[in-house]
Amino acid sequence: MADAPLFDRVAIIGLGLIGSSIARAAKAGGLVGTLVAVDRDPAVRARVAELGIADVVAETAAEAAEDADLVIVCTPVGACGAVAAEIGARLKPGAILSDVGSVKGAVVRDMAPHVPPYATFVPAHPIAGTEDSGPDAGFAELFRGRWAILTPLSPADASDVARLGAFWEGMGAMVDTMSVEHHDLVFAIVSHVPHLIAYNIVGTAADLEEVTQQEVIKYSASGFRDFTRIASSDPTMWRDVFLNNREAVLEVLGRFTEDLTALQRAIRWGEGDALFNLFTRTRAIRRSIVEQGQDTAAPDFGRRATAPAKD
């Protein structure tokens, strides 16, 4: 726990999985004096008050942002611009505005014009999450051992970038920085396109006429279960991600399509060496991810055994 709060007053706008986890982690780590939360959904605001994960539950984003030293927008990326337009004039001198979106180019385009010159905008992206959403889904440990990427917009913002980085580190995250453009390309391949593939293959299985949907569920093997976990993520969030990172996603999809065609050819013509070499390369990447602590090597990918359902 921090000896003294990094920020006297922090406002979190949007209390889904990420926003509610930040609220819990920041309070648990002593990183904030007063934590203000707001969500456009009255039911979410009521639940946040009930859970007690914020000191103040505001009625509007503008009200939450007023007098805050740090404001973090945790809405889907498609809503970030409208939130910035609402709160921009209410940001106090010296305030830091940030976000948690997995797309940075579109967020900067939509938010930056509303940030007054006496405040600093530092875009951010925590690489953490689950398939669950809402204020009940959050937990303080979500960011431990995970990366938080900051995409500074100006060298002049260095002190605020360092301060925000310390905030994320205080919640257990590892912090790195990169440019906005590089971020969007990197996460098109490591996150966005894999989600798109998962959504597509689960949809294909559901539409396959020769296989009933009940069989898809009943005989689901580990690979398909992983796809369904990814494909159950928040549809609003992922719709906005693909629409707002379309250039990078389409670039990576083009390369993926070419590689898939080559794989199809290898299978058709019985090119076993080509298949073996590809699978060997990809297996090494999996091992590297485990070695860096970004996943577990536990049997069955760490899934907990569950007892058979009772009638």
Q: What is the pTM of this model?
A: 0.83
CA torsion through residues 88, 36, 179, 105, sign: negative
pLDDT band at 215 (very low <50, low <70, confident <90, very high): confident
Note the residue count of the chain: 311
DSSP 13: E
311: pLDDT strictly greater than 60 = no
**In order of start, what are the domains of the chain with their CATH numbers?**
7-178 (3.40.50.720), 182-296 (1.10.3660.10)
Which DSSP helix (H) or strand (E) runs through 176?
strand 174-177
pLDDT for the residue 209: 59
- Nearest-angstrom CA–CA distance, 177 and 157: 13
Each residue's pLDDT tens digit, 3-35: 789 999 999 999 999 999 999 999 999 999 999
Residue 266 corresponds to which tokens in the numbers above?
């290898």
Contact 76, 240 (CB under 8 A): yes
DSSP 25-60: HHHHTT-EEEEEEE-SSHHHHHHHHHHT--SEE-SS
Report long-range pairs for 176-181 (Cβ below 8 Å, ≥24 apart): 176/147, 176/148, 176/149, 176/150, 177/149, 177/150, 177/151, 177/152, 178/149, 178/151, 179/151, 180/104, 180/105, 180/108, 180/123, 180/151, 180/153, 181/105
